Amino acid sequence: MASWHWFREPLLHFFLFGGIVFGAYAWLQEDAQAVQDDGNQIVIDQAELDHLTGLWKLQWKRDPAPDDVTAIIDRHLRQEVFYREALKMGLDHNDGIIRKRLAQKMEAVANDLSVLMKPPTEARLREYFHSREAFFTLPQAYAFRQVLFLPDEPQVEERMQATLSALRQGAPVPGARQNKLSLPVEWPMTAQNELHNDFGGDFAEALAALPVGHWAGPVRSGFGWHLVLVEERQAPRLPAFEEVHDYVAREYEYQSVLEAQDELYQNLLAKYEVTITADVPQSAVKVGLSAN
């Protein structure tokens, strides 16, 4: 049984799936490649025309008229002729844009491999969720009301104290303080990190020390000073998997793509001997590379 252990190696699976992807692509493109080998023959079959008109419809939101189809074909032929002649002249060599685009296509191959190797099954998503519970834990959150005072207001401290006393006795928020600087008075349950982005300063952190159900303050923010009534405080919590299923799936797919790209890159990089002759900091030279 030990002799079969190598068959379960992830690296072997990676290259097997890679062979499948590249093989399927080569098989599908065999006829097209045969045409391209004859540099003087350009064929636009029905599949190619459907693809071109489909792209046109996505852009213009309607079916192309006969004149539009003529223009579509003309544009495609113009691009194809210039493309082939550019290849004959070697204009693709050392072209940064072309190099970047081809590298992006290789990354797209790695993306396809990630789907083949690690499809997002329910079991994998649950395992991913529980292995990263800290990441998916919802942060501290608050529901509150606030009244803003600008630092440059005349007699701002006296006004704040008078307003605070009135609010504590049940008075409504003064009309002149409603939506000051377009900042709402009422804030539904909002995560602390979002409040930090919205208010700046130490406002979000200061809410942790305020009593629940009583007007307090003033609390400093990037806008000025606030009187605050914390209505509800929600401690950090790990949501149920079902609550964040779609978010977990998106994160799983994103991380799987990054891992597949890196694995493909590292295995392809191993085929090359890289020597850096430029004057670079030693910290910039990774393990496996040599610098002179």
Residue 227 class from Cβ within 10 Å (0-12 exposed, 13-18 middle, 19+ buried)?
buried
Bridge partners of residue 226, in order along the sequence: 148, 219
pLDDT of 105: 79
pLDDT of 291: 57
pLDDT of 164: 93
Model pTM score? 0.54
String of DSSP letters for 14-82: HHHHHHHHHHHHHHHTHHHHHHHHSTT-----HHHHHHHHHHHHHHHSSPPPHHHHHHHHHHHHHHHHH
Contact present, 241 and 133 (Cβ < 8 Å): no
pLDDT of 88: 79
In tens, the pLDDT along 105-164 reads 777 777 776 666 677 889 999 999 999 999 999 999 999 999 999 988 888 888 899 999
In tens, the pLDDT along 185-224 reads 999 999 998 998 989 878 988 998 999 999 998 999 989 9
pLDDT of 174: 85
Helix (H, G, I), strand (E, B) or coil at 149: strand
Count of other CB atoms within 10 angstroms of residue 22: 12
Does the structure show a pLDDT above 50 at 1?
A: no
C-alpha distance from residue 49 to each of 25, 34, 53, 76, 179 (Å): 20, 19, 6, 10, 56
The pLDDT of 230-242, averaged and rounded, is 92
pLDDT of 218: 93
**Range 138-234: architecture per CATH:** Roll (3.10)
C-alpha distance from residue 262 to each of 134, 188, 248, 252, 266 (Å): 24, 41, 21, 15, 6
The pLDDT of 163-182, averaged and rounded, is 86
In tens, the pLDDT along 56-105 reads 998 898 998 988 888 888 888 888 787 787 777 777 777 788 778 878 87
In angstroms, rounded to a whole number, what is the distance separating the alpha carbons of residues 245 and 126? 9
Does the structure show a pLDDT above 70 at 239?
A: yes
pLDDT of 167: 92
pLDDT of 34: 44
The pLDDT of 269-276, averaged and rounded, is 72
Q: Phi, psi (5° rounding) for residue 153?
A: -70, 140
Does the structure show a pLDDT above 50 at 290?
A: yes
Q: Which residue has the higher pLDDT, 209 or 283?
A: 209
What is the residue whose two structure tokens read 């998106």?
Answer: 250
For the chain, which residues make up each domain, given as ranges?
2-122, 138-234, 241-291
Instruction: Write out the two tokens for 137.
Output: 């834990």
Does the structure show a pLDDT above 60 at 178?
A: yes
